[in-house]
Amino acid sequence: MPDPRAETILEAAIRLGRTGGASSDAVLWALTASEVVVLTPSGATPTPENLAPLVVRRDDSTFLAVFTHVDRVSAELAVDRVPVSIPAALLVRGSDAHVGIVVNPGSAGFEIPPAGLGAFRAALWGSTAPTRYFVRQLVRDGVLLPFALLRRTVSGGRPVDEVLRDVDVWAPDSSSSVDKAVRMPLESDLEEISAEQAAQVQQMVAERSYRPLTKD
């Protein structure tokens, strides 16, 4: 019979947190410093751009599901998904303001609600975040051209999603396209692009002339 594996630092922190031996912030620090396992849809090569971790919902809250080790993943949750190991800091820092994190759902885990995660993120990295840009492209005469430019900024610790209507004229993203692109990138028709590429699109809008985006 194989020896039981050693407890990870994150698992130890969660155990202490559940018994009052560690504060919630201590568990969050351990999470941020750890590698975790997420479940991403099978059939696609996971990349930072298309990673779509399993999401669970409780009441009116949404949580990204992460696991301290692959042996914590139940067979039920793993259906049509594959485990991928990533730094938890990527999720803590990059997750939507309305999304929390649940560690080891279905077992002795730890849940961080959206508000708590946002407060920790603001204390650790500040309430500001770089603007994220997204483009929707269409094929015209056999050429892939940008069709719409959208962006996500942060104001007061909350995301503000907008779509470019004209040169330097932004309007609210009423269709929630950006939110879907952030939470479910594999199901979105938007592609995240750099600030430099976004500037290219804005220049095209000013010129009323469209051409393929160039890579950075």
pLDDT tens digits for 40-81? 887 766 555 556 788 888 777 889 999 999 999 888 888 888
Residues 138 and 121 in one domain: no
170 and 77 assigned to the same domain: no
Q: Is residue 214 part of a domain?
A: no
- Looking at the domain assignment, is residue 81 inside a domain? yes
Answer yes or no: do 196 and 109 share one domain.
no
CA gap 53, 184 in Å, rounded: 8
- pLDDT for 25: 80
Q: Examine residue 186 and state whether it is found in any structural domain, yes or no.
A: yes
Domain end point (choices 68, 91, 125)? 125
Q: How confident is the model at residue 101 (pLDDT cuts 50, 70, 90)?
A: very high
pLDDT per position as a tens digit, 27-42: 888 898 899 999 888 7
- pTM listed for this prediction: 0.57
Q: Of the residues 92, 125, 158, which one is the last residue of a structural domain?
A: 125
- Which residues constitute the domain of residue 20? 9-125
Residues 16 and 106 in one domain: yes
Q: Looking at the 3D structure of the chain, how many domains does it have?
A: 2
| 112 and 143 housed in the same domain | no
